Amino acid sequence: MLMRPPLARRSLSLPRLDSIRRAQLVARHPPLHSLHTPSCRFLTTRVDLLPRTRRRRALQDLHASICQRSLATAISDPIRQDDIRFDYAQSHVSSNYVYPLPNHLYDLRPFDPSAPLLVKTRGDPPPRAKMNQKGVPGGVDEMLSVFDACLQVRKLDRAALVLTRLSETGVLPGPELIALHNRYLRAAIDRAFEQPDSAWAQSLHKWYELHIRNKGIPQTSETVACMLKVSLLSAQGSRLERLVTRYMDMMPGDAIYQVLSEVDILNQQDFGIIASIYQPASDLLDELEFSPQYDEPQSPDTESSLKQPTDLSEAQPKSNYTPDVLAVPQKGLGLKSLRGVLSFFSKIDGQDISELPPAERREIQARLEQDCVDAAINRWREENQALKKMGLNTSMSTNALSSQLYDWQCALEARLEKEFALFEESEARERKNNEDFDRCVYAPFLRQSNPTRLAAVTIISVLTALSSGTGNGGVQLSHLLSQLSRGVEEDIRYLLRQSQLAPNRSKRRRQAPKPKNPENQQAATDSLTAQPPTNIETKSNIVETSAYETKSWPSLIKTKVAAVLLAALMDTAKVDVVREHPETKALVSQRQPALAHTSIYRKGRKVGLVMPNKFLVELLKREPPADFLARHLPMVAEPEPWTKFDKGGFIEYPAQLVRVKHGEKDQRIYTEAAVQRGDMEQVSKGLDVLGRTGWRINRPVFDVMLEAWNGGEKIANIPPLNPQIPLPVEPEASDNPVQRRLWLKAVKAVENEKSGLHSERCFMNFQLEIARAFRDQTFYFPHNMDFRGRAYPIPTYLNHMGADHVRGLLRFAKGKELGENGLRWLKIHLANVFGYDKASLKERESFATDHLDEIYDSATNPLTGKQWWLKAEDAWQCLATCFELKAALDSPEPTKYVSYLPVHQDGTCNGLQHYAALGGDRWGAQQVNLEPGDRPADVYSAVAELVKKGIAEDLETDNFLAKAVDGKITRKVVKQTVMTNVYGVTFAGAKAQVLKQLDAAYPQIQEETGVPAPVLASYIATKVFKALSTMFRGAHDIQYWLGECAGRVCRALTPEQIDRIATGETISTSTKRTSKKKPKSPADELLSQFRSTVVWTTPLRMPIVQPYRKSSTRVINTSIQDLTLQVPERSDPVNRRKQLQAFPPNFIHSLDASHMLLSALECDELGLSFAAVHDSFWTHAADIDVMNRVLRDSFIRIHSEDVVGRLASEFEARYKGSLYLAKLERGSAIEIRISALRKEKKQTLKAELLEERERSRLLMSSDPEDVEKGRAMVTPASIFEEMSASQPMSSTEDMEAVGLGNISNAGASPEAMAGEDDDDDLTASASESENDYVDVDLGEDTEYIKTMIDMSRFESDLTGETKKAAQKSAAKAKTKGADISIWLPLTFPEVPKKGDFDVSRLRDSQYFFS
């Protein structure tokens, strides 16, 4: 039982102890948003949820902020939740703090490229062991996750088993292990309060002796404080005195101060008792310095929770009727779900939430973000009950999917309740079967939720996956399990966060005592029994991380959790299939399984599929699911500022600062380290600026759009409600079978077009419903970014990055008087959105003046007049400008008119602008408007003219392809290819882009010319690439340099890796490959160690990490089937080809993102409203001149520095000491000498590596004798240096797609690589089947090309032409010759010489952005 000893005679008074406050030592120049503040927990909280490294690290590093934090802020700290932090040695103050901060937030911060942020992993993860007989998994990451989950659900017996096995493996260093023990002790103390047990204290004392003290694990003050707490709660009298004295004696000297600093374990009464028993503690307390108690400021969350929000439904609405949006016939849950979520706004029709106090707006926003899972269950239940009240059988309601989903919910919930009941039995069983072992893994995670909620999340996630899948073709099981596990994990983390935010929001801070003499505090710090390890490097740019990541569930956990839920759903979910009897015409119902599992073979591999019932597919086609919509709507309160990696944006719903795909860990680790150092301040503040921009619905445009939508006709980009697309005439049965195949293909194309238009209209339906709900509100778009730093709004459906109709619907919430310049820019903006954007500014202004009649007619009679606005390139934005311009001109003083319309300024192929500035290319700068000029240069038109010129030359040789495209080359045909070529688009991607434009402009081109459109697209793309390679030589050189740097990095071994190889450490991987190949040779094992990914720092000091690796595979057994999954790990070798080809475009993306955010910061400081769509920047018409100055100045500030030179210096520092495997062409003089040396020495590749390591060590020595020894060594690298050879370039094959205008068939473009997931096998197979023509080499003679064009793929395979083409390609590859590999010190090529273009000339360019 719990016992509290009587108050000691010599205890400090509570008021006196309340006043104790520690000194706060902060960095000289802390980040403006916040300092790193160690969190503080009280014993009544769920201490196991909150990892502990705060006070330990703060006392360890006296330069750190030692502020105390109350529970309210501590538990709302997402970065410190759900994970174990082992980065004890990381300093909170980076070396950048020695520089004085610039005067403005938009000034570039000093950056020392010789000391970039380096994240180093402490060792490699060991090989995974098997699950033991007690059901504890063998992977360290899996054990850590299970341990954390067990503490969450108070299963301390299971947590103890995991902790015991972790200790036995010996893979965790002492400081990491004691952190886990401390969490276990805290959880045990908490449970003692909740569930008193007479034996609890004795068991903890025994645990301490056996598992901590006897094992020699280094203890911390937290460990001692926990044991003191156990003693104080359970003992009294002489036993208490013995225990207190024993534990306090473990803290030598003044280190007892550390124990007294653990104020979230020991309370004020505990201090008094300890002081009365232990004399040194009493003496120390007598020397303490005291300061008045203070209350912690309440967080905004607290403020909003303390105020009762206004009942807006009772507010008097304005009489402003808006008709409903005509619903697309979906007949299901999706649109109803959306309207259910938006029903809140219908209750406050006419009431503007922005007029309420901030706290009430935040409360309303929090309510909107509140959990949609419960709302979905309620909707299913309501519809089910409504049908029953009407006397209808739900099984006979053919279209009532939501009512059937409630039956699914009830059945699945009952099934999961039975599963929960088996958890204890399986965990306790001595001889476990496979099901028991699985339950031991997933039970702690499922216990964090409940059957009701798990059932709903499972149903919603599966339906979402099926809706976005391949319909009748089913969904790949691995994809479905991945999506389901993601939904369950996010929902459980949301529940944990909510449970932690709820209690104790307004508790006061506890104060820790502060010694009067600071030296005593330092001595106490130095004399701790055990200190966490410190970095070998003293600079704060070195950050050590654990080899184990616990912020997300490991693949084993995700798969096991998702498999048990999916299997339960497949067993319980039924659909009532209703069909009409062919004879009686009566409705007949049959209950069938909704889902079925099957397997197929694709490309020789067995692939598991989940097949939905055909009746379910029909229902899903009518309705896109929308049950998580509330988390993707705009916000009605300003977004939370970004303060941590996952704290910012939405108030309740957690979001991430950087969008990281599941399984990719590097970018998150680097970003979190940069946030903690204060490096991400400008980036996060820039995102805050974008999020604070207020928006409203443009009511005149919305009214027109709604009328057009409800009419059902095609208007602008709105597809028709009932598209009339005629089917082609079916050929006669006796006709050529090839004709019938072509007919079937045409029928399929028509069906696909109709389906596409329907899907597009459904999506627009969602957007218009949201716009209608928010029509009276001011709303905001919280932003985050991708790994390159490009900003994106988080709300999915309605945002300013949407299509033309969405942009036309939006206006700023704040208005500004036009003024003379504003009125001029409003006219220019109209010309721009109409498509007249390549004329001079004066001509564009005149364009609007010359079309005033059409403008007035468009604004007055948009749907019944001349409809001039529909001729615009961006029709809805043109209509919005017509409304604005008419209103301004009709006002008494047009220059005084308050305008709300965003006016855009677009860059001229922004990627080429950056390349021209990087290379100092004067001619390139002229093409992209960096040089001042009287008229805007148009690089797209210039390329189109070069393409026309090339076609004209081919016409002279009677080229039939040139004849087919003559007169069909326009600026629009080549624009997208030119724009994306700078971002690394491959030839295949460029061909697809040109094909899309040809199909849009000339849909009958194949019938007219007799040449398939894809062949013509290939011909045009070839001409475009050729034009670009001649126009932008400087950009070409920069791209090659970037690609070569990436190629070397990806074939390098770090000094740490070489040291481990030298000491004979086993090269291990954390996952195992499943292919039944021969064991790897020692050389292959060595080459598999290439793990260095390309990392660089943007001008705003954001670290960028390319994520491309060759993920290893792992077999995971589930109750459905055995799955072979790709499991990304940081220890996986890099995908060199992707790293190399993606680096140039990603580097340019990081520069344009920096330019945008830097401009946003300055515009915000100047009071401008600012929005951006990558390289299109928006503000009020009156502020365009100011914004343009800001855009030019920001660009000049970035490129006035030596960006490429700084990158080279950063690479030299980041990869210092590395050796890379270079390739030399056979037959060269160097290769001959090296081959001769190798014949003499007969060394392995590993031996050469270690020999070169030794030579480098000797040459770097300060001892002249060692240096002389190094010079005397003869190695392949020394021969290479002796012959003064330049370092070889990467293989030509890999570099093909890097240079601007180079033609490569290297598969997916780096742009695709930088985006979302790679295509899976199903998608790849589908795309291959679409190509019914034979790919031809346009370098062949025209007669051969004609022959191949007329031949189908089937005929080509039959005649052997396909095989001949493959053999020809293989022969070409062989002619490239062989090469040899040698180890060289990693250095980088000389930076390309910069041209004479002075970027400061940009200040006078009025067309830079226009």
Closest to 597 (Cα-Cα) out of 632, 570, 564: 570
CA distance 467 to 753: 18
CA distance 1018 to 965: 11
Our CA dihedral for 767, 773, 776, 780, rounded to 10 degrees, sits at: -60
Closest to 830 (Cα-Cα) out of 775, 888, 910: 888
Our CA dihedral for 1039, 1045, 1048, 1053, rounded to 10 degrees, sits at: -150
Q: Tokens 């068991």 map to which residue?
A: 203
- Max Cα separation, the chain? 110
107, exposed or middle or buried, with CB in 10 Å at 0-12, 13-18, 19+?
A: middle
* 825 contacts: CB under 8 Å, gap ≥ 6: 903, 1181, 1182, 1184, 1185
CA angle 28, 30, 33 (to 5 degrees): 160
Catalytic residue list contains 1396: no
N-to-C CA span, the chain: 77
514, 647, 975, 1138: the catalytic one is 975
82, 627, 1175, 1294: the catalytic one is 1175
CA distance 1389 to 1289: 9
CA distance 112 to 123: 27
564, 99 in Cβ contact below 8 A?
no
CA distance 560 to 720: 45
**Which region holds residue 1103: left if phi is over 0, alpha if psi is between -120 and 50, else beta?**
beta
83, 352, 906, 1335: the catalytic one is 906
Closest to 898 (Cα-Cα) out of 810, 822, 825, 831: 822
Q: 506 in helix, strand or coil? A: coil
Catalytic residue list contains 906: yes
1398, exposed or middle or buried, with CB in 10 Å at 0-12, 13-18, 19+?
A: middle
Catalytic residue list contains 254: no
Kindly state the DSSP code that residue 720 receives in the 8-state scheme.
P
300, exposed or middle or buried, with CB in 10 Å at 0-12, 13-18, 19+?
A: middle
1403, 1196 in Cβ contact below 8 A?
yes
CA distance 194 to 188: 10
Strands 605-612 and 595-602: antiparallel
Q: 191 in helix, strand or coil? A: helix
Residue 1345: what residue type? I
Closest to 472 (Cα-Cα) out of 351, 617, 330: 617
1106, exposed or middle or buried, with CB in 10 Å at 0-12, 13-18, 19+?
A: buried
CA distance 753 to 725: 9
359, 391 in Cβ contact below 8 A?
no
Distances (CA, A) of 1013 to 725, 1018, 1351: 21, 9, 15
Closest to 1114 (Cα-Cα) out of 123, 83, 127, 121: 127
Q: Which phi and psi angles does 530 have, rounded to 5°?
A: -140, 130
Closest to 819 (Cα-Cα) out of 1180, 1191, 1164, 1176: 1180
| Residues catalogued as catalytic | 906, 975, 1175
